[in-house]
Structure 1
Amino acid sequence: MSLPQCVRDLLGDAVLRRVLAAVDAEGADTRVVGGAVRNALLGVPVKDIDCATTAHPRDVMRLARAAGLKAVPTGIEHGTVTVVADGRPFEITTLRRDVETDGRHAEVAFGTDFGEDAQRRDFTINALYLDKSGRIHDFTGGLADIEARRVRFIGDATTRIREDFLRILRFFRFSAEYGAAVLDADGFAACIRERAGLFRLSRERVRAELLRILVARRAAAVVTALSDAGLLSMMTGGVAELGRFARVCGQSEDATLRLLALSVSVAEDADRLRERLRLSNDEHERLSKAAALIAHLHGRPEALDTRTLRRLVVLHGVAAVADALAIVDGEPRPRVEEAARALLASFAKGEEAVPRFPLTGKHVAAAGVPPGPRMGQVLERAKALWLAADCPADKPQLAALLRLAVGEVSGEGGGCADGAPVEILR
């Protein structure tokens, strides 16, 4: 395999070369490993650069500082030192082998054998080492799997999973991000067999991995596989709306919106996800607001016109209405009129201001209503009339609405079936 430009660019990184030179100053062998090599070979942007070294962690600290670099013992008990150069962090981890694992954490012993280090990693595509000369060292068949876009466990899949049950979710995430059309059969079967291990993971870690799966390149296909295997319901505790999810995947890369499409139809779903996935307060509030609207709109026989859209935006906010419509739009009902779509887009872009109910307690008092419960009742009825009249700003019309509200609350007024006289609404 010829080195793509991204790999050449990686090796040409002056800051990286400075770090490698510092750690190798006394004869150690330090190589770029894992995601940086994988992404460079796939032509995917490289974000973080991790390295593996034969140097002991204490020596990495000493050598980095001697070269004027900052060294932080971020995980030194497991061999990891973060070296900071020009404000950029590089994780440098001493070669190691697992002595004992418990399904989530490992006790390790340091070594100098890159092949042995490779065998303890998760997937073949993550066990490629790039040295300073540009040579890629492949101990597990990762280069062939890069070519085939195949995500495959190193060695026995069950053994790899039992070392760290988070690898179940990582298998699906990497398959969604980098894999081709078909999941590796051995890995998929092992994930299903070891599925009980998911309950040993923190809910925060499950949430983080699931959200990354939801926004990956092949999210729709991989989430369907998760659902078919019964693994998705173990994480979310509910039934997946795969059709909605696939449709929203074609519209937005927003992870929370995709979670909404996949798992939320009513407010109780949002509450359940908050517990199962330890959602933040903001995430839960967003799902809850949209859920109320989804339940209200689903199956609505009337078309959603501009009047209804404006009323929904006033009552629920632009964001919640946009979320709910992203979920139900495209289903047989409700049908959304093009003018309503355009109005929502105008609100979202700030091109048109969202109407604000203009009447206050001062106006009600000026209409002769004394302070007390009746004032609130008048305001509530006036707002309902204002919404029904399509949020007018005309002062004479507002005055008429207020008079009608006062009369109705006082038991003195009549009106049409929806509570407002025809001459005001037209």
Structure 2
Amino acid sequence: MIATRRDIGTETAIAAFLAEPVLARLLEALNEGGEETRIVGGAIRNLLLGISHSDVDLATTALPDETIRRGKAAGFKAVPTGIEHGTVTLISKGQSFEVTTLRSDVETDGRRAKVMFGRDFAADALRRDFTINALGLTRDGKIHDYADGLADLGERRVRFIGDARERIREDYLRILRFFRFHAQYGTGGPDAEGLRACIAGRAGLAGLSRERVRAETMKLLVAPGAAATLDAMMGAGLLMSVIGGVPHLSRFAAVARESGEGVHPAFRLAALAVAVREDALRLRERLRLSNEEFDRIERIALAQEGLGGQVELHSIAALRQFGQVVGSDAVAGAMVLLNASVGEEVGRGVQQRIGELGRTPPFLPTGKDVMRLGVPAGPQIGQVLEAARHAWIEAGCPGGRDEQMAFVETAMA
């Protein structure tokens, strides 16, 4: 089905997108000699919704070797990122494009598929997961819609293509993708048929790699509708099997209202599932967290334990002392979570404390300062600085170079 562009989105946005120099050059190279290439996936979906996109995927009738040949001839670097599934990444001027040969699934075990290459755009579109991901845009600006994706996009509805249970059996990660896409693009409750299929297929989540589960979970946590979607997952009996523990849904909802744009996914994970350090350790194993993600949620957990649930009882000096141990960012995050745990928003008092915590002055004395006071080069310099810094922390981290140097002089004595 060829859809008119006035169904959703604007002709101007589509024309501007297709006129982008690198993309236009690539489409010109791939659309010649009897081959055809279309833009597919998230780029066109987001374009029609007026949201920014980061990746541009293309589907082509050309076989991978021909895609590589044409890409190189047009000045693109070719990387065979998924050559067994027909995917080649073409790169030019800092922009990358995933180009995949049209295909159909021959065999799947719920985690990976064996594919057969073809030349049928409809068949390729209908093997995808959701209707809103099955749209195609041709070089001349025509939108091809094979699964009523435009209607679903207009209604902000995330719906499986065809039989939802069959789509899930092809790849059980689609259960998490269903909720993640609903949190990002949907309104109201999740599609009823899709929800029933996810519940029926939930045992398949156990066979997925933890890395794939982590990637989808982290994207879900920062989506606009994450709080309501997590509630739906909990009601369907799916959330605890993902995080391996009892979620703090009301706390997460409070934090999601407050944190806004640019929030770190690990902080959202801490809001949902971390109260003590053991929670952080469990999530590291269950979701194969990166070292940076684990460090962040572990420090927040330690800060929550250290504050003891009584934020208002700690002076700014005490908070600064604690911030030097686990990190000021972790203490600030813990203060937000502890407030949310008792059903409170981050009030002015807590905001002021977090602001003051963020203005903790640095410890300025260096080894050269210690040497100028007469300490010879060697390990004693480090010992003096460590003792001075410890005394400075105990005093509440006061600012001012002269006041801080007094700690150094006392440490020397």
Superposed CA deviations along residues 280-318 of structure 1, whole A, max 9, x for unmatched, are: 223222222221221343443963333432333344331
Aligned to 2:72: 65
* 2:352 is the counterpart of 1:345: no
Aligned to 1:135: 142
3-state secondary structure, aligned to 2:88 = strand
Shift of 1:76: 2.1
Q: Tell me if structure 2 keeps the 8 A contact 1:127–1:140.
A: yes
Greater relative CO (CA pairs within 8 A, separation 6+): 2
Q: How does 1:135-284 map to 2 (within 5 A)?
A: 135-252=142-259, 253-284=263-294
Superposed CA deviations along residues 145-186 of structure 1, whole A, max 9, x for unmatched, are: 111111111000010111111111111111111111221111
Shift of 1:275: 0.8
Shift of 1:91: 1.4
Q: 1:268 to 1:69 in 2, by over 3 A?
A: closer
Structure 1: gaps (5+ residues) = 363-374, 407-426
Q: Tell me if structure 2 keeps the 8 A contact 1:57–1:81.
A: yes
- CA distance in 2: counterparts of 1:335 and 1:12, whole angstroms: 46
Aligned to 2:373: none
The TM-score normalised by the length of structure 2 is 0.83
Give the number of equivalent residue pairs. 389
Q: 1:277 to 1:34 in 2, by over 3 A?
A: same
Q: Tell me if structure 1 keeps the 8 A contact 2:164–2:193.
A: yes
- CA distance in 1: counterparts of 2:352 and 2:192, whole angstroms: 46
What amino acid does structure 1 have at the position aligned with 2:352?
A: A
Q: How does 1:3-402 map to 2 (within 5 A)?
A: 3-4=9-10, 5-252=12-259, 253-300=263-310, 303-332=313-342, 341-348=351-358, 351-353=359-361, 387=394
Q: 1:354 to 1:114 in 2, by over 3 A?
A: same
Structure 2: gaps (5+ residues) = 371-382
Shift of 1:56: 2.0
Shift of 1:89: 1.6
Shift of 1:95: 1.1
Q: 1:352 to 1:385 in 2, by over 3 A?
A: closer
Q: Tell me if structure 2 keeps the 8 A contact 1:301–1:333.
A: no
Superposed CA deviations along residues 80-138 of structure 1, whole A, max 9, x for unmatched, are: 12222333221111111111111111111111111111111111100001111111111
Q: Tell me if structure 1 keeps the 8 A contact 2:40–2:58.
A: yes
- CA distance in 2: counterparts of 1:248 and 1:237, whole angstroms: 21
What amino acid does structure 2 have at the position aligned with 1:21?
A: E
Q: 1:63 to 1:243 in 2, by over 3 A?
A: same
- CA distance in 2: counterparts of 1:144 and 1:385, whole angstroms: 63
What amino acid does structure 2 have at the position aligned with 1:208?
A: A
3-state secondary structure, aligned to 2:258 = coil
Q: Tell me if structure 1 keeps the 8 A contact 2:244–2:286.
A: yes
3-state secondary structure, aligned to 2:140 = coil
Deviates more, 1:50-59 or 1:135-144: 50-59
3-state secondary structure, aligned to 2:361 = coil
Shift of 1:390: 8.3
Q: Tell me if structure 2 keeps the 8 A contact 1:38–1:126.
A: yes
Q: 1:118 to 1:341 in 2, by over 3 A?
A: closer
Q: Tell me if structure 1 keeps the 8 A contact 2:311–2:335.
A: no
The TM-score normalised by the length of structure 1 is 0.81
> How big is the alpha-carbon RMSD for the aligned residues of Structure 1 and Structure 2?
3.6
Superposed CA deviations along residues 213-264 of structure 1, whole A, max 9, x for unmatched, are: 0001111111111222221111111100011111111232221111111101
Q: 1:322 to 1:356 in 2, by over 3 A?
A: farther
Q: Tell me if structure 2 keeps the 8 A contact 1:298–1:334.
A: no
Identity of aligned residues (%): 48
Deviates more, 1:225-234 or 1:178-187: 225-234
Shift of 1:30: 1.0
- CA distance in 2: counterparts of 1:320 and 1:100, whole angstroms: 47
